[in-house]
Structure 1
Amino acid sequence: MNRYTTVIDLMRHGEPEGGRLFRGSKDDPLSATGWQQMRTVAAEFRPWQAVVSSPLRRCREFAEELATRHGLPVEIDPLFREIGFGDWEGLSAEQVEVRHPGALAEYWRAPEGYTPPGGEPLVRFDARIEAAWDGLLERHRGAHVLLVCHGGVIRACLRQVLGLPLANLWRIDVPYAAPTRVRIHGDHGEPVPILEFLNGGFAGWW
């Protein structure tokens, strides 16, 4: 039988400059704290055969640094960019509430039915990440890959893996620089994805 195991480590970017905001496609770089968070988590481990990254600076710049340091190929995949928050981008939750009273509560309650003004509908985002995830698994079948991306992207990937309702997407906590691992076992049948851990510590996720 043609058996294989693919391991995908998903790592959210660290803290960007400006702190916690609805950032989406806003291309802020990492803060000094964000760089420290990611370098601490990755340390000198290098179990990967490749690094894949969102094109946004808060992911890409660390991914390129890590890949260069370990002599690994790096792919920049635009499909793994964060969900677009439209008019909310660059605002804190408090600022969104002031400008759009009640909208944030509606978004958390039923995100598949409410889209921020000018934003990316959750259904469209979910379909984009599904295509990105399937492409990643096809290109790197049987390999161990690090995916550097965003909180929304990781949630959407895990929704695919676990078969969660789209309405529950934002119920998964994904802290800055937190690593998560998915292991996919395949043979001639349908590949079986397993969530091995979520938000593991840097000392214990290997």
Structure 2
Amino acid sequence: MATNNRIVETEQARDMLLRFVKERKLPFTASITDGKHRTSDQNRLQRQWVLEIAAQLGDQTPEEVRGYCKLHFGVPILRNENDVFKAEYDAVIMPLPYEHKLKLMMVPFDFGVTRIMTTRQKTASLVIGDVHRSLPADADLAARKKALRAARPWEFASTSWGKKVWAKHSRVYLEKFGLRPLKAKEVGDHLSPLERIIAKAKAGEA
């Protein structure tokens, strides 16, 4: 299945996207993500952190650290926000053993994760990864919650929508350290009105 990712920042780019969609043969699946593509500053910061972490650990290469961060911090964020990514990842990568997943995050395979992120998604990935590396390995759930609350970027603190998105990303991370997963009804209670409409439509198709 071919996937076409485009960054739309101008009216010309919007027109080209509309023309592209009109020329596509049916059926196809479309996915639109709010926000700009990740920036070169974010890329440089990621490379700097990867080098620092590898130097501190001493037993992992920068590429191994990069692969670990992609799998543990990047993948959960995209699975949480990008239905197309989630479908492809769950079908191809999810069934594999952990060691194989980790290998696929690194060169020469380099499964696309951070390179398809928006600036907001990349920010979340970097911040959660930085919080994780700043905490001791035996940090309890309460300490991890407190650290995530303190580290929440302004992009996720200025609106109710941003706060909800940060809470969802934080929950995915915290569930790995003992936070109780939401039950089906609780998940529904946390959905936005648009997400509830989409969920009802999908339920009707089942």
- TM-score tier by shorter-chain length is under 0.3
Normalised by the size of structure 1, how large is the TM-score?
0.28
Question: Quick check: which one's strand share is greater?
Answer: 1
- Bigger-Rg structure (1/2): 2
Higher relative contact order, chain-length normalized (CA < 8 Å, sep 6+): 1
Which protein is richer in helix relative to its size? 2
